[in-house]
């Protein structure tokens, strides 16, 4: 995790050497001189002590969910409502298999039949046995990517069109819709946040945090959820994906199903999943370089573009997050430029869903970055 680790035991080398030297002199009555064998031995022993203290600090931090990493965090999950880290999910889509002609008997397309794209980028498989009915020339079946994660997302209709496992009377195949639904395993940061939210799961979903927890359990690609209750007995859920987009209808249906289960939803709640309001904004700025800058104009241009990308990602990663150009300016000044003039966006306060209206989320429009040239001090 990126969080700063706690220092339970001091590891400053100078302090430890000084302490060990004082103890040695106290016990032996010998004054330790610079460069003496005693001094060299104490420095060697101090290095061992520092290493052991560092390991002790690490072990202590790994007992804290907010600092634990990897399998250590997985082990701590038994203390929470959620017991396991959400794993990677395979992308899916619908595949149409066409046979060579109409037949008076059904043709089996076995479950596990593999297909791929023309470049053999990834391999997909049918999820169940399917039959082309007698008199028909095609059948549609759901396929999933054999490689779990987001790598299988985004294959457009018709792109998956090459058979790997031939079956009788096969003629052609092609996916009918874009592949979607693939998700990577939850990172340590995502899993820790889910563990915290999971404590609300003990109360079913009556609490605001409970609804958020059960909604986020649906998919690791869900970045933010707001649960609002504009009127008694009515719960509206607003879902934002990790790429800053609004949830698809399929994803909203999954969230609704998860939050409407009998062991989750209080009987008096009517739950719906709705879209937040998108507030468009543009980025338009001009930056200037110090005339004696040590960094080249090309390097600064790349750094500025990278920081703008980080800002737009940050801006669209949370519902109700105000559009804040001050954040953009602060990030850009880290690149080493002299100054920057931001024409757009202007500061805009967005609704966070705490009232009766839907929350808002920033939606990026155009990005225009202009190099204003060099300036003296």
Domain identity same for 171 and 207: no
- Does a structural domain hold residue 119? yes
Choose the final residue of a domain: 223, 254, 274.
Answer: 274
The pLDDT score that the predictor gives to residue 231 is 87
Per-residue model confidence as pLDDT tens digits over 110-132: 999 999 998 999 999 999 999 99
Q: How far apart are CA 23 and CA 187, in angstroms?
A: 46
Strands 234-241, 270-274: pairing kind: parallel
Domain identity same for 253 and 337: no
The pLDDT score that the predictor gives to residue 205 is 46
Residue 223 sits at the vertex; the CA angle it makes with 221 and 228, to the nearest 5 degrees, is 125
CATH number at residue 264: 3.30.300
- Does a structural domain hold residue 8? no
Choose the final residue of a domain: 154, 175, 196.
Answer: 175
- Least confident segment among 67-76, 155-164, 184-193, 209-218: 209-218
Q: How far apart are CA 129 and CA 57, in angstroms?
A: 54
Number of H helices, E strands in the chain: 8, 14
| Mean pLDDT value across the chain | 91
Domain identity same for 288 and 367: yes
Domain identity same for 55 and 131: no
- Least confident segment among 17-21, 176-180, 191-195, 324-328: 191-195
Segment 34-63 mean pLDDT: 94
- C-alpha torsion 143→147→149→150, nearest 10: -70
Structural domain span for residue 192: 188-274
Neighbours of 87 (CB within 10 A): 12
- Least confident segment among 4-8, 198-202, 259-263: 198-202
Measured in whole angstroms, the distance separating CA 215 from the mean position of its chain's CA atoms is: 15
Domain identity same for 321 and 300: yes
Per-residue model confidence as pLDDT tens digits over 308-329: 999 999 999 999 999 999 999 9
Domain identity same for 101 and 152: yes
Task: Write out the two tokens for 76.
Answer: 């701590």
The pLDDT score that the predictor gives to residue 202 is 61
- Does a structural domain hold residue 7? no
Domain count of the fold of the chain = 4
Per-residue model confidence as pLDDT tens digits over 227-271: 998 888 889 999 999 889 999 999 999 999 988 876 677 766 789
Domain identity same for 285 and 214: no
Domain identity same for 249 and 325: no
The position carrying tokens 């430890």 is 16
Confidence check: pLDDT of 176 > 70:
yes
Q: How far apart are CA 349 and CA 351, in angstroms?
A: 7
Domain identity same for 344 and 361: yes
Q: How far apart are CA 116 and CA 159, in angstroms?
A: 9
Domain identity same for 301 and 328: yes
Note whether 79 and 198 are within 8 A (CB): no
- Does a structural domain hold residue 72? no
Choose the final residue of a domain: 142, 175, 208.
Answer: 175
Domain identity same for 246 and 293: no
- Identify the DSSP state of 291: T
Contacts of 376 (CB under 8 A, 6+ apart): 290, 291
Confidence check: pLDDT of 273 > 70:
yes
Name the pLDDT band for 203 (thresholds 50, 70, 90).
low
The pLDDT score that the predictor gives to residue 263 is 65
Domain identity same for 217 and 299: no
- Does a structural domain hold residue 254? yes
| Of 233, 231, 230, the residue nearest 266 (C-alpha) | 233
């Amino acid at each position: 995790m990126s969080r700063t680790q706690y220092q339970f035991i001091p590891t400053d080398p100078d302090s430890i050497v000084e302490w060990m030297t004082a103890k040695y002199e106290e016990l032996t009555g010998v004054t330790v001189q610079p460069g003496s064998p005693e001094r060299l031995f104490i420095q060697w022993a101090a290095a061992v002590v520092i290493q052991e203290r560092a390991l002790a600090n690490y072990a202590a931090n790994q007992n804290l969910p907010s600092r634990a990493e990897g399998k250590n965090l997985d082990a701590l999950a038994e203390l929470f409502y959620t017991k396991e880290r959400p794993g990677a999910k395979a992308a899916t889509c619908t595949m149409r298999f066409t046979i060579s002609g109409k037949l008076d008997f059904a043709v089996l397309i076995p479950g596990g039949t593999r297909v791929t794209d023309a470049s053999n980028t990834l391999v997909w498989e049918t999820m169940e046995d399917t039959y082309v009915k007698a008199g028909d020339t095609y059948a549609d079946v759901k396929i999933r990517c054999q490689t779990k994660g987001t790598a299988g997302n985004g294959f457009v209709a018709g792109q998956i069109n090459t058979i790997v496992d031939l079956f009788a009377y096969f003629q052609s195949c092609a996916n009918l819709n874009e592949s979607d639904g693939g998700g990577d395993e939850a990172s340590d940061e995502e899993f820790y946040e889910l563990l915290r939210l999971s404590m609300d799961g003990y109360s079913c979903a009556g609490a605001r945090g409970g609804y958020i927890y059960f909604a986020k359990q649906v998919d690791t690609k869900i970045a933010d959820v707001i649960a609002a209750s504009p009127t008694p007995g009515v719960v509206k859920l607003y879902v934002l994906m990790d790429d800053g987009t609004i949830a698809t209808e399929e994803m909203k249906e999954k969230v609704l199903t998860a939050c409407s289960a009998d062991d989750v939803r209080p009987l008096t709640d009517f739950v719906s999943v709705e879209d937040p309001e998108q507030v468009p904004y543009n980025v338009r700025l001009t930056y200037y370089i110090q005339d004696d800058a040590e960094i080249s104009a090309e390097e600064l241009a790349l750094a500025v573009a990278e920081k703008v990308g980080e800002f737009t990602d940050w801006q669209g990663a949370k519902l109700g997050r105000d559009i804040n150009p001050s954040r953009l300016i602060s990030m850009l000044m880290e690149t080493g430029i002299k100054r920057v003039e931001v024409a757009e966006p202007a500061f805009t306060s967005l609704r966070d869903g705490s009232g009766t209206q839907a929350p808002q989320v920033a939606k990026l429009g155009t990005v225009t970055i202009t190099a204003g040239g060099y300036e003296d001090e």
